[in-house]
Amino acid sequence: MPADLIHLVRHGEVHNPEGVLYGRIPGYHLSELGHRMADAAAASLAGHPVTRLYASPLQRAQESAAPWSERFGLPITTDDRLIEPHNWFEGKKMREALKRPSGWIQLRNPMKPSWGEPFISVRDRMLAVVTDAWRDTDSGEAVLVSHQMPIVMVARSVKDLRLPHDPRDRRCALSSITTLERRGDAFVEVNYQEPAKDLGQAAIDLGAV
């Protein structure tokens, strides 16, 4: 039997004193608060039959997967398809970058988007790993630890919403859990929760473009 549920989990708060868009830059780890948020996410599904655990290769996702590994006694399967999309603004402070013409031109086509990996590419790789996780989990539930934009692409896709959107309007808080179920030939969203919401009130979330 394939997985009963797929849980898409976003990482916790990142230690980012420079306030840059860190994207795929290595070395960005969870803050102390971020570790607590990741713990809260894993604790929220205590009692669930979680039997498979996947994570993006980036450090903040691996650290956010650790509480799940410890609580459910599971190895972390690293899957590159869960990674944050690349974007031109990596390593930059958004407000400063947009003061320069070189920054403006990157926003010339928000429908694609022109500043990084196309929405459709993110959607396709994410749906592929979700499908593989569903198929390869013999029974129980699978947890996939990823990033804001990839999770939003899945959520919008299963709801038949247009992929282009305003990044400021994304519904994917730090350490949130978006839950999918397979019905027939498609996935549907059956739950969204923010188990670290109280902790998140003190968190800094630059998200991504």
**Domain annotation covers residue 94:** no
* Average pLDDT over every residue of 41-67: 97
Show the domain range for 83: 5-87+117-200
User: Lowest-pLDDT range, 96-100, 164-168, 179-183?
Assistant: 96-100
**Domain annotation covers residue 161:** yes
Share of the chain above pLDDT 70, in %: 98
pTM: 0.94
**Domain annotation covers residue 101:** no
Q: What is the pLDDT of residue 207?
A: 65
**Domain annotation covers residue 20:** yes
The pLDDT tens digits for 112-170 are: 998 899 999 999 999 999 999 999 998 999 999 999 999 999 999 999 999 988 888 88
* Average pLDDT over every residue of 34-56: 97
**Domain annotation covers residue 184:** yes
**Domain annotation covers residue 58:** yes
* Average pLDDT over every residue of 88-104: 78
- By residue count, the chain amounts to 209
Predicted confidence band at 204 (pLDDT cuts at 50, 70, 90)? confident
Q: What CATH number did the domain enclosing 147 receive?
A: 3.40.50.1240
**Domain annotation covers residue 34:** yes
Residues 6+ apart with CB under 8 A from 7: 45, 50, 141, 142, 143, 144, 177, 178, 179, 180
Task: Provide the residue type at 86 as one letter.
Answer: H
Cβ–Cβ < 8 Å for 146, 178: no
**Domain annotation covers residue 105:** no
Q: What is the pLDDT of residue 79?
A: 98
Task: Provide the residue type at 154 as one letter.
Answer: V
The pLDDT tens digits for 183-198 are: 999 999 999 999 999 9
pLDDT at 22 over 70: yes
φ, ψ of residue 5 in degrees (nearest 5): -140, 150
Cis peptide before 113 (omega within 30 of 0): yes
pLDDT at 67 over 90: yes
Q: Alpha-carbon distance 114 to 81, whole Å?
A: 20
Q: Alpha-carbon distance 4 to 24, whole Å?
A: 31
Q: What is the pLDDT of residue 109?
A: 87
Total number of domains constituting the chain: 1
Q: What is the pLDDT of residue 163?
A: 94
Q: Alpha-carbon distance 183 to 188, whole Å?
A: 7
